[in-house]
Structure 1
């Protein structure tokens, strides 16, 4: 059973943002995926907090944070995370992003390299076009109305119970259905449905993901970067981990067997060890404006161009 943590709140730009902050030491910023919240990290927060200051926010539009009509782009989320750590008096972080949160983490590292010590991507978006049809469906007309009917009390309870029962089956295809059940349950709030729809439309269309790091991957040359994936991921295919390796050859890639889209929940102790090894064996990135300018002027190296063609 995972431990629950006290949720704190801070208002930034008029919107209340929820977050968990615990532990001491170098700061680790944990960014959750689409439709989730900070609780997705609960299996690893305790072990990480023994060595690090852990900050796990609910992204705007998710969890206990406000769900306004607002900017739900990855750039907007990166700005929000910069503002949050600034308000908390934190200068630099190792940022770890899961799924959609991985896209936000990449954008944060791109926009604020001077605030980013390391970058870890966990079953991340932004590394290839493929994504489960269930997420693409959120962009379709009528999603809000149909989900409003499906999340009426009786149907919602039946649906959540059915998804959780399926997650107990020894099938790879239903491995992550307990998390799907939690996301489905959150859709009972019309504000959540609106927010999630805006988020998905910013990064996905009917053909798949439209936001990618491929054109800026060469900038990670100066940034320690690890990529972690579950071998049985049915939401974003594990081959995207190989895409990351081609786009950022200095990145380390670790694929965890018998894990789905949430490897930090499937194998929390192993995941915590991976994070610790990442921080222990790498030096924090040091931002140099001159070096960043040089990278921007030179553009992607030939190897990166070949990698983009292969994705």
Structure 2
């Protein structure tokens, strides 16, 4: 399937009201495979590899969260989805927050589920501030033509030593996207979300700490937080049975034994 000229790998199964899963950074929709199959007996379930991930092509430029949100809206339009429940993990949670905070959407949102969601920019520690200072200094230093020709690998060596795994494992285009995405704080969007929101978080999530989930619960007007013990950033995989039971309750699914 092509959406705005971008080849997209996606999943569709089931009937009834639409549920759209949005995966995290560096992942793809297959991370949800068990839950996609399980929910498709009760809902019309969709998922996609977002541009630049899985089997979908990269975006044509360095996209922001808003660009990804726009793309998801176009994707839903192509599939005639006019009413949806959003389930977003990590980066997918960022996109869900952006969409849910917008007014006058071309699609109706019934509920949203944020799973170990990204979106709250942490305050920099002193160590991080120093690292950023040195990074900018090196970047400025190698901008001098003579230095750039003599030491072309200097900045990349610094990135390899100090960059995050998500950044280092990305292609040049997706690195540009990553920088745009992580530098945007979505905290101001949270109070604008009018939909019933379930927040599910791994108690041992160190990538997006549990404190972020508590902030989201406090700022989103109609939100509840469920903490999964012995679970990390991929809490839905670490505690799949409990995750599905919580999701079933929120989506009013009554399974037969």
Residue 253 of structure 1 aligns to a residue whose secondary structure is strand
Paired residue total: 227
Aligned to 1:67: 58
Does residue 211 in structure 1 map to residue 203 in structure 2? no
Match in the other structure for 2:233: 261
TM-score by length of 1: 0.65
Q: 2:19 aligns with which of 4, 18, 28?
A: 28
Corresponding residue for 2:150?
none
Tell me how far 1:250 sits from its aligned partner.
2.3
Instruction: Summarize the Cα distance change of 1:196–1:146 in structure 2 as closer, same or farther, 3 Å threshold.
Output: farther
Unaligned runs of 5+ in 1: 1-9, 151-179, 282-311
> Is 2:20–2:45's contact at 8 Å kept on the other side of the alignment?
yes
Larger Rg, first or second structure (1 or 2): 2
- Does residue 76 of structure 2 align to residue 102 of structure 1? no
- Counterpart of 2:6 in structure 1 is 15
1:56-95 aligned within 5 A: 56-95=47-86
Write the distance in 2 (CA, Å) between the matches of 1:121 and 1:57.
17
Cα pair 1:228 1:254 within 8 Å, conserved:
yes
Q: After the TM superposition, which residues 264-275 of structure 1 pair with which residues of structure 2 at under 5 Å, given as runs?
A: 264-275=236-247
CA distance in 2, matches of 1:79, 1:276: 29
Map of 1:120 onto structure 2: 113
> Equivalent residue for 1:174?
none
Gaps of 5+ in 2: 140-152
Contact 1:245 1:251 in 2 (8 A): yes
Q: Runs of 4+ in structure 1 displaced over 3 angstroms? A: 140-150
Q: Tell me if structure 2 keeps the 8 A contact 1:61–1:196.
A: yes
Contact 2:97 2:190 in 1 (8 A): no
- Please, what TM-score do these two structures have when normalized by structure 2? 0.77
Distance 2:217 2:234 in 1: 20
Confirm or deny: 8 A CA contact 1:231 1:256 kept in the other structure: yes
Alignment partners' CA distance in 2, 1:266 and 1:218: 30
C-alpha distance in 1, partners of 2:173/2:43? 31
Between Structure 1 and Structure 2, the one with more helix by share is 1
SS at match of 2:227: strand
Q: 1:98 to 1:146 in 2, by over 3 A?
A: farther
Number of the residue aligned with 1:237 = 209
The 1:149/1:124 distance shift into structure 2, 3 A limit, reads closer
The alpha-carbon distance between structure 1 residues 29 and 246, as it changes in their structure 2 partners (threshold 3 A), is: same
Q: 1:280 is paired with a residue of what secondary structure?
A: coil
Q: Distance in 2 between matches of 1:59 and 1:258?
A: 28
The answer to whether residue 16 in structure 2 is matched with residue 38 in structure 1 is no
**Cα distance in 2 for residues equivalent to 1:103 and 1:50:** 27
8 Å CA contact retained: 1:32, 1:97: yes
RMSD: 3.2
Q: Which residue of the partner structure matches residue 180 of structure 2?
A: 202
Displacement of 1:68: 3.8
Query: Are 2:23 and 2:31, in contact at CA under 8 Å, matched by a contact in 1?
Result: yes
SS in 1 for 2:56: coil
